[in-house]
Amino acid sequence: MRTRFAPSPTGPLHLGHAYSVILAHDMARAAGGEFLLRMEDTDLQRCRPEWEALIIEDLAWLGLTWDGDVLRQSDKIATYNARLETLDERGLLYPCSCTRGDIRAALSAPQEGVAHPVYPGICRSRTLASRLPGDALRLDLGKALSVLARQDLTFTETGPTHCGRQVVDPELALATIGDVVLSRKGEDIVAYFLASAFDDADQGITHVIRGEDLFEFTPIQVILQHLFDLPTPVYHHHRLIRDENGKRLAKRDDARAIRKYREDGATPADIRNMVGLS
Q: Looking at 25, 207, 210, 238, which residue binds ligand GLU (CB under 6 A)?
A: 210
Q: Which is nearer to ligand GLU, 8 or 183 (CB)?
A: 8
The yes or no reply on residue 128 touching ligand GLU (CB under 6 A) is: no
Tell me the pairing of strands 2-5 and 34-39: parallel
Q: Shortest gap between Cβ of 203 and ligand GLU (angstroms)?
A: 12
Q: Does 6 bind ligand GLU (CB under 6 A)?
A: yes
d(CA 140, CA 34): 36
| Residue selected from 196, 218, 225, 232 as contacting ligand GLU according to rule CB under 6 A | 196
Question: Which one among 181, 214, 240, 274 touches ligand GLU, defined by CB under 6 A?
Answer: 214
In whole angstroms, give the CA distance from residue 111 to residue 191.
23
In angstroms, give the least distance from the CB of 87 to ligand GLU: 21
What character string, x for contact with ligand GLU (CB under 6 A) and - otherwise, covers 31-50?
Answer: ---------x----------
Query: Which residue number, 119 or 198, has a Cβ lying nearer to ligand GLU?
Result: 198
**In the set 7, 12, 95, 178, which binds ligand GLU (CB under 6 A)?**
7
Q: Which residues bind ligand GLU (CB under 6 A)?
A: 6-8, 40, 196, 210, 214
